Amino acid sequence: MSTPTGSGKSQAEAAKLPAGASRPANRPSTSGQRRPAPAGAARRPATGQRPAARPGQRPARATPRRVRLTVSRVDPFSVFKVSFLLSVAIGIATVVMVGVLWTVLAGMGVFDNLNELLRTLDREGSNFNLMDYIGFGKVLSLSVLIGVIDVILMTAIATLMAFLYNICASLVGGLQLTLTDD
**DSSP characters over 98-151:** HHHHHHHHHHHTHHHHHHHHHHHH-TT-----GGGTS-HHHHHHHHHHHHHHHH
130: in domain = yes
Give domain status of residue 111, yes or no: yes
Full-model pTM: 0.59
- The range of the structural domain enclosing residue 98 comes to 79-166
Structural domain count of the chain: 1
| Residue 137, in any domain of the structure | yes
Which residues, in sequence order, are bridge partners of residue 70? 176
Examine residue 71 and state whether it is found in any structural domain, yes or no. Answer: no
State the helix-helix crossing angle for 136-172 and 76-108, rounded to 10 degrees: 150
d(CA 164, CA 1): 77
Does residue 116 form part of some domain?
yes
- In tens, the pLDDT along 132-174 reads 899 999 999 999 999 999 999 999 999 999 999 999 999 999 9
